[in-house]
């Protein structure tokens, strides 16, 4: 039987292509049940949804932070719009917001960091996740770790010394915390990176959704990196 990176014609795909395909498949699978999520949320008390998710409900919409922006989900349509101009959010962002509201159960932050493999069923896809999250950080910042600080600050990250190496904490959604971590390399060892999760994250998002948030953070940081001097 052909392996994961083998094509039907016997040639082998590049690992990056496999990772991209896995990420695309995850994203596509998350977009399909939007109607189901919307129907389930409409049956709930919106004030209760807001309380569990760290959002605000004003009688007309649920308002919450998403990365560095404010978004609103109109009630009862649950259409996501940008808080600043009222324009509709992208379908992917709409799905992520609905998954978050659906999963949120009000659990407190754990204050403890875990890797993707420690999330429910995370061990199955840890290698793919590491490829487009931690490995991407290592490629972007391994040769100039000081650039990670500039990129993290540009995205609202807060430095933490809890992980014993350069690390920055981000809040993509009100009750989800991610940590971007870099272990600089030397003559003997390559640089390593990781995007970790507060241990309560699975109370607020599916494991696939957390993979997309973690990979999204790595991509945002790489794009925000200052040019090497």
DSSP strands (E only) in 126-199: 158-159, 167-173, 176-183, 192-198
Could you tell me whether strands 158-159 and 80-82 are parallel, antiparallel, or unpaired per DSSP bridges? unpaired
Domains and CATH numbers, the chain: 33-103 (no CATH), 113-224 (3.30.310)
Q: Is the pLDDT of residue 30 over 90?
A: no
Kindly indicate the confidence band of residue 18, based on its pLDDT and cuts at 50, 70 and 90.
low
- Tokens 């809890």 locate to 162
Q: Which helix (H) or strand (E) holds 75?
A: none
Q: pLDDT digits over 49-102, tens only? A: 999 999 999 999 999 999 999 999 999 999 999 999 999 999 889 999 999 999
- Greater pLDDT, 226 or 186: 226
**How far apart, in whole angstroms, are the C-alpha atoms of residue 166 and residue 40?**
41
Q: Is the pLDDT of residue 19 over 60?
A: no
Q: What pLDDT, on the 0 to 100 scale, is given for residue 8?
A: 33
Question: Which residues, in sequence order, are CB contacts of 29 under 8 Å at separation 6+?
Answer: 208
Q: Which helix (H) or strand (E) holds 221?
A: helix 207-224
Q: Residue 132: how many CB atoms within 10 A of its CB?
A: 21
User: What mean pLDDT, rounded, does the chain reach?
Assistant: 89
Q: pLDDT digits over 205-214, tens only? A: 999 999 999 9
Could you tell me whether strands 158-159 and 167-173 are parallel, antiparallel, or unpaired per DSSP bridges? antiparallel
């Amino acid at each position: 039987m052909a392996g994961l990176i083998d094509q039907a014609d016997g040639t082998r795909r590049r690992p990056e292509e496999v990772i991209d395909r896995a990420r695309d498949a995850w994203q596509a699978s998350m977009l399909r049940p939007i109607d189901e999520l919307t129907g389930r949320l409409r049956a709930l008390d919106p004030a209760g949804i807001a309380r569990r998710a760290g959002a605000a409900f004003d009688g007309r919409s649920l308002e919450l932070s998403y990365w560095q922006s404010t978004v609103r989900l109109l009630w009862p349509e649950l259409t996501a719009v940008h808080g600043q101009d009222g324009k509709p959010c992208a379908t992917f962002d709409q799905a992520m917001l609905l998954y978050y509201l659906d999963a949120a159960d009000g659990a407190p932050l754990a204050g403890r960091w875990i890797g993707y493999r420690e999330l429910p069923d995370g061990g199955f896809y840890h290698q793919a996740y590491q490829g487009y999250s931690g490995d991407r950080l290592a490629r972007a910042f391994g040769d100039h770790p000081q650039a990670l600080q500039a990129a993290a600050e540009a995205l609202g990250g807060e430095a933490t010394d809890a992980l014993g190496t350069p690390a920055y904490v981000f809040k993509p959604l009100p009750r989800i915390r991610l940590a971007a971590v870099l272990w600089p390399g030397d003559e003997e060892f390559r640089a390593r990176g990781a995007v970790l999760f507060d241990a309560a994250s699975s109370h607020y998002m599916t494991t696939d959704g957390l993979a997309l948030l973690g990979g999204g953070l790595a991509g945002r940081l790489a794009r925000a990196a200052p040019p090497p001097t």
